[in-house]
Amino acid sequence: MEPPTATETATASTPRLLLLGVGGATCSGKTTLAKHLSKAASKDVMIVHQDDFAPKEEDLPWNDAINARDWDTPYGSIDYARMSAVLSHLRQAGTLPESHSSHDHLNILPDVPLSDSFRAEWQARFRRALLPTCSSCETPARPASAPTPAAQSQQLRICIVDGFLLYFDPSVRRQLDVRFFLRARRATLQRRRTERSGYNTAEGTLWQDPPGYFDKAVWPAYVEAHRHLFAGGDVEHGAPAATALEEGQCEGQDDGQPGGTFPGLVVLDGGDKREDNADGGKSMRTMVMVACEHVERELFARARPPHASPPA
pLDDT at 172: 97
Average pLDDT (17-24) is 95
**Residue 281 CB burial class (10 angstroms; 0-12, 13-18, ≥19):** buried
Q: What is the pLDDT of residue 43?
A: 64
Flag whether 308 is in a domain: no
- Asked if residue 310 is part of any domain, the answer here is no
Residue pLDDT, tens place only, 134-143: 444 445 545 4
Length of the chain: 312
Structural domain contains residue 162? yes
What residue type is assigned to position 286 of the chain? T
Number of domains in the chain: 1
CA angle 308, 94, 158 (to 5 degrees): 70
- 254-312 tens-digit pLDDT: 888 999 888 889 999 986 555 555 445 688 889 999 999 999 999 888 865 555 544 44
Tell me the pLDDT tens digit for each residue of 183-197: 999 999 999 999 887
Q: Which residue has the higher pLDDT, 144 or 210?
A: 210
Q: What percent of the chain clears pLDDT 90, i.e. is strictly above it?
A: 52
User: pLDDT tens for residues 39-95?
Assistant: 888 767 889 999 999 999 999 999 999 999 999 999 999 999 999 999 999 999 988
Round to whole Å and give the CA distance between 231 and 253.
17
1 in a structural domain: no
Element (H, E) at 88: helix 80-93
- For 210-266, the DSSP string reads PTTHIIIIIHHHHHHHHGGGBGGG-TTTPPBPPPPPPTTPPTT----STT---S-EE
Residue 222 CA: distances (Å) to CA of 26, 89, 107, 152, 173: 8, 28, 21, 41, 16
CA angle 126, 131, 132 (to 5 degrees): 145
Residue 283 lies in a domain: yes
Query: Stretch 163-191: mean pLDDT, rounded?
Result: 96
pLDDT at 245: 38
Mean pLDDT of 169-179: 96
Count helices and strands in the chain by DSSP H and E runs: 10, 9
61 lies in some domain: yes
Candidate from 75-79, 119-123, 203-207 with smallest mean pLDDT: 203-207
The CATH code of the domain that includes 121 is 3.40.50.300
Q: What is the pLDDT of residue 13?
A: 55
Could you tell me the pLDDT band of residue 27, with boundaries at 50, 70 and 90?
Answer: very high
Burial 159-172, CB ≥16 within 10 A → b, else e: bbbbbbbbbbbbbb
The answer to whether residue 205 sits within a structural domain is: yes
Q: Which domain holds residue 188?
A: 6-141+149-302
Per-chain mean pLDDT for the chain? 81
pLDDT class for 248, splitting at 50, 70, 90?
Answer: very low
- Residue 82: inside a domain, yes or no? yes
Least reliable range by pLDDT among 27-41, 84-98, 237-251 = 237-251
Residue 249 pLDDT level (bands cut at 50, 70, 90) = very low
